[in-house]
Structure 1
Amino acid sequence: MSNSIELTVGQQFEMERFNRALDATTDPDQLRSLAKQLMQAWQTQKAATKWVVEQQSGRCD
């Protein structure tokens, strides 16, 4: 198993979509909103990853 994490094609397209949205946005309120969405997604992913790791290791909190 490889130690590197590879994005799926769908994830790559989603990242490109966000990059283009950020590049096209000049309104500070829109940029703030996008940043908050990205922060929410990042923290949700971290929580999900932690949960999966705990489930695989047999820990129950």
Structure 2
Amino acid sequence: MSEPLALSLGQQFELERMSRAIEATADLQTLQGIAKQLLQAWHSQKAATQWVMRQQLGAPPQISTTLAQQWGQEA
């Protein structure tokens, strides 16, 4: 059985740093900026994880739906 997913010490520190930045921010625009950065990071991580899984499984690369639509193909 594989061990459970755990954050590295560096990741734990980064999480704490970002949490404190959010808690210390009263300005709505700054909070929105932080939220957008976190959303981008989350989606980038999801995409990277899916790419690694496809590489490990030997699955052929997939064309994104948007790219396929631009080229007149179906994803």
Q: What TM-score bracket applies, with the shorter chain setting the length?
A: over 0.9
TM-score (norm 1): 0.95
Map 1:1-61 to 2 at 5 A: 1-2=2-3, 4-61=4-61
Stretches of structure 1 that go unaligned for 5 or more consecutive residues are none
Instruction: List structure 1 runs of 4+ shifted beyond 3 angstroms.
Output: none
Deviation string, structure 1 residues 4-45 (Cα, Å, up to 9, x no partner): 210000000000000000000000000000000000000000
Residue 43 of structure 1 aligns to which amino acid in structure 2? H
**Percent of residue pairs identical:** 52
Q: Distance in 1 between matches of 2:54 and 2:14?
A: 27
Q: Greater share of helix residues, 1 or 2?
A: 1
Aligned residues: 60
SS across alignment from 1:5: coil
TM-score (norm 2): 0.78
Stretches of structure 2 that go unaligned for 5 or more consecutive residues are 62-75
Q: Distance in 2 between matches of 1:18 and 1:26?
A: 14
Higher relative contact order (CA 8 A, sep 6+): 1
